[in-house]
Amino acid sequence: MDRFEALASFVAVADQRSFTAGARMLGTSAPSTTRAVASLERHLGVRLLHRSTRAVSLTDEGAALLDRARRILADLRDAEQLMISGRSVPRGQLYVTAPVMFGRLHVLPVIGDLLEAHEGLTARMMLIDRNVRIVEEGIDVAVRIGHLADSALRAAPIGSVRQTIVASPDYLARHGSPARPADLKAHRCIAGNGIRTGPGWSFGGRGEVIVDVVPRLTVNTIEATIAAAEAGLGIANLLSYQCAAAIAAGRLVPLLEDYAPVPVPVSCLYDAGRASAPAVRAFIEGMRERAATGAWS
């Protein structure tokens, strides 16, 4: 039994809650993945997964092994990257995570350029609007928007985004434009996944000001926030990259620009063991080059 292959099969099946989906993620067949996990269970003398016709779930022993298995596989990848770190050509798999919309608009093009330029490179992207555990999940680089908490991970600044208050031309024609942040209290506001999801919206200008707005509408996705604002349902608080296309097309109008707070940093976060990997270095450089074009500011 190849221990590392068996561990990789176990982690993939546990993550996907399915032998078929786990095998697909690994690029193998479901029977070979099933055999690898069964072999691991025989070797350890415990059952790691509950199997049923509908789903796969972890046993207590499987849950105890899962994080350690991820770390073992991450250490193996680190060792492999160390062996090839003297080479300047990115190769192997690059695993990146980023917020959903930012990843689709600005990370995917950089990944595409890298794949076009380097034949030996493959990539995996996890687009999700929450922070994930980088080391435990075996992720090479995480793109984060916002101020970072102190940690043992390394951070590479790659740019910034701005708070942008927007409304549709139709809304402004019917309700007028706020002249200062405090005027928002008299307007219909849309709360969603912008800079803040709560009632307090921050503004700068002559010192920081927090305006407690009373949302007329609350939604849980960026896309819905933008659609609601374009439909004239109210004023939204977004990040510059989220509404740039709508502003350029005239569907939304930026407001209160003189009161914008300081820009929000965008960073690449990675474990020190990944620092020398050519693919990681190339990705970070590609993101910096894209930021320099003003693509998301």
CATH (domain of 27): 1.10.10.10
| 65 and 95, same domain (yes or no) | no
pLDDT digits (tens, 9 = 90+) for 249-279: 999 999 999 998 889 999 999 988 777 789 9
Counted domains in the chain: 3
User: Quick check: is 78 in a domain?
Assistant: no
| 94 and 147, same domain (yes or no) | yes
Q: Which letter, b or e, does each residue of 105-136 get, where b requires 16 or more Cβ atoms within 10 Å of its Cβ? A: bbbbebbeebeeebeebebeeebeeeeeebbe
Q: What pLDDT does 195 receive?
A: 47
SS3 at position 80: helix
Q: What pLDDT does 81 receive?
A: 63
CA angle (106 as vertex; 100, 112 as ends), nearest 5: 105
- Give the domain-ending residue among 73, 105, 129: 73
Token pair recorded at residue 129: 């609007």
Q: What pLDDT does 177 receive?
A: 95
Domain of 223, in residue numbers? 163-259
DSSP 29: -
User: Quick check: is 80 in a domain?
Assistant: no
| 64 and 118, same domain (yes or no) | no
d(CA 118, CA 103): 20
How many helical (H) and strand (E) elements, i.e. helices and strands, does the chain have? Answer: 11, 14
| 154 and 277, same domain (yes or no) | yes
Distances (CA, A) of 215 to 29, 55, 86, 127, 194: 50, 40, 55, 28, 13
Is 144 within 8 Å of 136 (Cβ atoms)?
no
Q: What pLDDT does 197 receive?
A: 55
Amino acid at 76: L
pLDDT tens for the chain, 297 residues: list them.
578 888 889 998 988 888 888 888 888 888 899 999 999 889 999 999 998 877 889 999 989 898 888 888 877 876 766 665 545 688 889 999 999 999 999 999 999 999 999 998 999 999 998 888 888 888 999 999 988 877 778 899 999 999 999 999 999 999 999 999 999 999 999 987 654 556 789 898 666 788 988 899 999 899 999 999 999 999 999 999 999 999 999 999 999 999 988 899 999 999 887 777 899 999 999 999 999 988 887
pLDDT digits (tens, 9 = 90+) for 97-132: 999 999 999 999 999 999 999 998 999 999 998 888
SS3 at position 214: coil
d(CA 88, CA 141): 18
| 54 and 106, same domain (yes or no) | no
Q: What pLDDT does 166 receive?
A: 97
- Nearest CA to 128 out of 107, 101, 147 is that of 101
Report long-range pairs for 36-44 (Cβ below 8 Å, ≥24 apart). 36/1, 36/2, 36/5, 36/6, 36/9, 36/10, 37/6, 37/9, 37/10, 37/13, 39/1, 39/6, 40/1, 40/3, 40/6, 40/7, 40/9, 40/10, 43/1, 43/3, 43/6
| 151 and 275, same domain (yes or no) | yes
Place of tokens 């793109």: 143
d(CA 4, CA 21): 19
Q: What pLDDT does 1 receive?
A: 56
CATH code at position 151: 3.40.190.10
| 92 and 175, same domain (yes or no) | no
Q: What pLDDT does 165 receive?
A: 96
Q: What pLDDT does 270 receive?
A: 92
Q: What pLDDT does 253 receive?
A: 97
Cα Rg, the chain, nearest whole Å? 23
Q: What is the pTM of this model?
A: 0.68
User: Quick check: is 79 in a domain?
Assistant: no
Q: What pLDDT does 168 receive?
A: 98
